[in-house]
Every structure is written in structure tokens, then in C-alpha cells.
């Protein structure tokens, strides 16, 4: 696979991490990142990334114009490309379904220029798509354009498991690589025996795509080939589990406060000592901790999309429905406490991103909280975040005040709400020991 050209469509959080990650690990391959947005492509070509992600900009600088090129010209991106990864958003429709139109449009554009690619290019969807999408939507779509799988192209799904704030490390050091393929024929769907005794039993050579196995081998992680439905489901299985754990912790915190005289921080910290969680400590414990609910791009969208998919098939998941409802109810629970404050109080919001170590404010719980407070008539709201101020102001049109430092906001408000668990916010308990703090992240 030396000198094989790998192209990545879409240079957002997942796409740019994928492009830079492959450039770091596959020194003898040509990596090309394609971005439709000319301004964004130019910015990346100037060694700048359009979002914050620890270590990614430095890694970009070390690979750009070496074995990594960035372009806004699709024909250049497709020229001689053997493997094409699609890292394109699948946003929610109004009914909660995943919108696949952007992906379909990108595939159509590739098909229109498939003669520019290497023979029988491998089209890999890295975007999160509901189970059944590759077989029921994307393969028929390509076939209706006159192409045939394993003759004109190879279609695959390769879900990502990247955490914002740690994406480059997660890509370079994955704990598993999951690839869904059809095998030698469309009939290799793998709907037979559901009994799985070990990781080896699902690493089926029936679905193996040698070129993908080769490019992922240097990552020293289990490479698991499964049928497309299974690969798609594994991604949702992961994200809905994380959603469930966050909502579980929040529901337990409500029960604890309802009963009363329970030290919630202590209770959860003791829970985390259970050796079955393993690690030192296991990263999973960050999800099993109460707060304001889950936000960001992935968990709300994917939990709702899987719920909608199951409901469309005749099964309404009470668990997923409850997870989503609890995620909304926890804000109501906190608001009921906060609204006891005087309507004239100057309320300081500490944290605006949906999670610490990120500037992502999509579906930020801080945004929802501020909106609810404004609706209740609180007009004196001041906000601070160490990294997400600009992105928040751009995304949310709120008539509130912003401060540029922690000290500045601590000097200007009567009441504080910790909305994001940034490490620096641990200082506030010592800096303003006699001021009311709503510690919604239980720091």
C-alpha cells in the first residue's frame, strides 16, 4: 500500500483528525484532505485549525505539505484516490432521524468523477449512520447510479470513537478499529448466529477488506471486520451507553436530593472505587457522574436517532426514551432551585462549552440554562469560559454580558452557576467561600 492515495472528505473535527492521524502514521502514503468550504481549506493550509483540539494544530504543522495536502478542489482530491473516507455530518431532522442527504450528495459527486479515482476505489463512511443505512440506503443509491459493489467500488463503514479534547490521541492510539463490509457479495449480510463468545468470533474474514486492514495495522489495535449493520450498531451501542450512564447518574442525584441528607459527591466517589470499573482510574467513570446532562454533537443526536430507528421498526425503547427525558428533566430540576434567587441577582455562568477541554458549544447545557433563565426574567447574566467564549457568542444570540477572566467574573456577580467542569473552576470555592455557588457539575 505504499504511495497509495487516501482522501478524506470533510475537514471538521473528525475529518481533520483522520487526515492528520493517517499522515502521522502512514509516512509512505499520500493523504489528501478535501474541504468544500474554501475559507476553511485556506485556513487549514495556513497551518490553522477552525476549532480547538489539543495537539492537532502542531501535528498539522508537522505533516502539511509533506505527505498531507489540503484542497478545496474535488477533482484534485479524487485524482488517483484508492481509499476515500467520508467524514460528513449527519444532523438531526425535526423528527429526530439522522439526515443522510449531505453524505448522499458527496457520494453522488464522487460517482460523477469516479473515473478520476484509482480502479475500484474503497468508499468508507466514517460518519455516524443508523444501523441498516449502508445496506438499505447507500448501497442501493450507488447501484441505482449504475455501479456495482466489488466491481466499480467497495463500500464500507468505519465508525469513529473519538472524544473531543482528546481526538488525536484517540485516533493514533485506538482501543479498537471497527470496519463493516459486505464481503464478496451483497448476500454477506451476517444475520445468522447471534452468539458471540469472544472478540475473535466477530473478526470475520468474510467481511475483511485487505486494503483497510493494511492501513490500520500500524495502529496496533484490534481490527474488527463485521457486516455493515453490526458496525453501524456498535457506534450507537457505544454512544447510547454513555448517554445512559450520564442520565443514570443524574436520576440518582435527583433521588438523593429528594431523600435528603445524602452527600452526593461522596456517594459517587465511593461508587467509583468499585474495582470492576478497573483502570487507575478507568476513564469511563467520567460518564457515571451527575451534572447537567449530556450535550455536544454526538450523544443527543445518536441517542435520539437510534430511538427513532427502533420506533420506526415497531419497537419503542422505553430506556432510550427515558434517557432523553432524564436529560431534559435534570435542567428543570436545577432551574427549580435557581429560580428562588432574586430576579435582580447578577448571576455568573461559569463554563459555556458542552464539556471541558473543548470549545464546542453545540447543544451546550449552559446555552439551555441561560435561555431558561432569560425566559424567567433574569436579565443580569454574566458568562465566562476559558476557551469557548467566541464560539458561544457566535452560536447563541443572548443579551448577556461576558467577562474575559475568572477573576473578572468572580468580582462582578452575586450568585454563580458552574455549568462546565473546567479544572480552573475548582478555585472558586476558596476565592469566594461565602458566595452562593450552584455547583451543577458537583466539582
Q: Are 227 and 275 in contact (CB under 8 A)?
A: no
- How confident is the model at residue 185, as a pLDDT? 52
User: Distance between CA 84 and CA 34 in Å, rounded?
Assistant: 10
Question: Which pLDDT belongs to residue 283?
Answer: 81
What are the φ and ψ backbone dihedral angles of 398, each rounded to 5 degrees?
-105, 140
Q: Which three cell numbers stand for residue 78?
A: 479524487
| 217-239 pLDDT per residue, tens | 999 999 999 999 999 999 999 99
pLDDT for 350 equals 99
pLDDT per position as a tens digit, 272-289: 888 888 776 678 888 889
Which whole number is the average pLDDT over 359-372? Answer: 96
pLDDT digits (tens, 9 = 90+) for 77-131: 999 999 999 999 999 899 999 999 999 999 999 999 999 999 999 999 999 999 9
Confidence of residue 1 (pLDDT cuts 50, 70, 90): low
Q: What is the pLDDT of residues 58-86, one digit of tens each?
A: 999 999 999 999 999 999 999 999 999 99
Burial of 134 (0-12, 13-18, 19+ CB in 10 A): buried
C-alpha pair distances (Å), 374 with each of 149, 328, 342, 368: 54, 17, 13, 10
Nearest to 11 by CA among 207, 321, 42: 42
Pairing of strands 154-157, 177-181: antiparallel
Q: 5-226 maps to which CATH number?
A: 3.40.50.720
Q: Which one is predicted more confidently, 359 or 189? A: 359
| CA dihedral (190, 193, 196, 201) positive or negative | negative
The CATH number of 237-439 is 3.40.50.720
Residue 203 has pLDDT above 50, yes or no: no
pLDDT of 275 reads: 85
Half-sphere exposure of 281 (CA within 13 A, CB side): 15
Which pTM value belongs to this model?
0.85
- Residues 391-397, mean pLDDT to the nearest whole number: 96
Across the chain, mean pLDDT equals 93
Domains 5-226 and 237-439 share a fold: yes
Please report, for the chain, the start and end positions of each structural domain, with discontinuous segments joined by +. Answer: 5-226, 237-439
- Give the pLDDT score at 193: 41
User: 24, 59 in Cβ contact below 8 A?
Assistant: yes
Q: What are 395-414's pLDDT values in tens digits?
A: 999 999 999 999 999 999 99
Mean pLDDT confidence for 183-197: 47
Q: Is the pLDDT of residue 165 over 80?
A: yes
Find the distance separating the first CA and the last CA of the chain, reported in whole Å. Answer: 49
What's the burial of 321, exposed, middle or buried (CB within 10 Å: 0-12/13-18/19+)? middle
Is the confidence at residue 198, as pLDDT, over 80? no
Q: Span 150-162, mean pLDDT?
A: 97
Given pLDDT bands bounded at 50, 70 and 90, which one contains residue 194? very low
Q: What is the mean pLDDT of residues 34-63?
A: 96
Q: What is the mean pLDDT of residues 406-435?
A: 97
Amino acid at each position: 500500500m505504499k504511495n497509495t492515495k487516501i482522501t478524506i472528505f470533510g475537514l471538521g473535527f473528525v475529518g481533520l483528525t483522520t487526515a492528520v492521524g493517517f499522515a502521522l502514521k502512514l509516512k509512505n502514503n499520500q493523504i489528501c484532505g478535501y474541504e468544500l468550504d474554501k475559507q476553511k481549506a485556506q485556513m487549514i493550509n495556513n497551518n490553522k485549525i477552525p476549532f480547538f483540539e489539543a495537539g492537532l494544530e502542531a501535528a498539522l504543522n508537522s505533516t502539511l505539505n509533506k505527505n498531507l495536502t489540503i484542497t478545496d478542489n474535488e477533482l484534485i482530491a479524487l485524482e488517483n484516490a484508492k481509499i476515500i473516507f467520508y467524514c460528513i455530518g449527519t444532523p438531526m431532522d425535526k423528527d429526530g432521524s439522522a439526515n443522510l442527504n449531505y453524505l448522499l450528495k458527496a457520494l453522488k459527486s464522487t460517482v460523477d468523477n469516479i473515473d478520476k479515482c484509482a480502479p475500484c476505489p474503497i468508499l468508507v463512511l466514517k460518519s455516524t449512520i443508523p444501523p441498516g443505512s449502508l445496506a438499505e440506503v447507500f448501497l442501493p443509491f450507488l447501484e441505482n447510479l449504475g455501479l456495482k459493489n466489488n466491481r466499480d467500488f467497495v463500500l464500507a463503514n468505519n465508525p469513529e470513537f473519538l472524544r473531543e479534547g482528546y481526538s488525536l490521541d484517540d485516533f493514533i492510539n485506538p482501543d479498537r478499529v471497527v470496519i463493516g463490509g459486505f464481503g464478496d457479495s451483497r448476500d454477506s449480510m451476517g444475520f445468522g448466529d447471534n452468539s458471540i463468545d469472544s472478540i475473535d468470533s466477530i473478526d470475520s474474514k468474510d467481511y475483511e477488506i485487505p486494503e483497510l486492514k493494511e492501513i490500520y495495522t500500524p495502529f496496533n489495535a484490534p481490527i474488527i471486520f463485521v457486516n455493515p449493520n453490526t458496525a453501524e450498531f456498535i457506534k450507537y451501542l457505544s454512544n447510547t451507553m454513555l448517554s445512559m450512564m450520564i442520565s443514570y447518574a443524574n436520576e440518582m442525584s435527583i433521588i438523593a436530593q429528594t431523600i435528603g441528607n445524602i452527600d452526593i459527591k461522596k456517594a459517587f466517589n465511593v461508587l467509583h472505587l468499585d474495582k470492576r470499573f478497573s483502570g487507575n482510574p478507568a476513564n469511563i467513570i467520567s460518564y457515571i457522574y451527575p451534572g447537567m446532562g449530556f450535550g455536544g454533537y454526538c450523544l443527543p443526536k445518536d441517542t435520539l436517532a437510534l430511538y427513532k430507528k427502533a420506533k420506526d421498526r415497531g419497537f419503542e425503547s422505553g430506556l432510550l426514551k427515558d434517557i432523553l427525558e432524564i436529560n431534559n428533566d435534570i435542567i428543570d430540576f436545577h432551574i427549580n432551585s435557581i429560580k428562588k434567587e432574586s430576579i435582580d441577582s447578577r448571576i455568573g455562568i461559569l463554563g459555556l462549552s458542552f464539556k471541558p477541554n473543548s470549545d464546542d458549544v453545540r447543544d451546550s447545557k449552559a446555552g439551555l440554562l441561560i435561555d431558561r433563565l432569560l425566559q424567567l426574567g433574569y436579565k443580569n447574566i454574566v458568562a465566562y469560559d476559558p476557551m469557548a467564549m467566541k464560539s458561544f457568542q457566535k452560536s447563541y444570540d443572548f443579551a448577556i454580558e461576558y467577562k474575559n477572566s475568572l477573576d473578572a467574573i468572580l468580582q462582578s456577580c452575586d450568585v454563580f452557576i458552574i455549568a462546565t467542569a473546567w479544572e480552573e473552576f475548582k478555585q472558586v470555592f476558596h476565592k469566594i467561600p461565602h458566595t452562593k455557588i450552584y455547583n451543577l457539575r458537583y466539582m
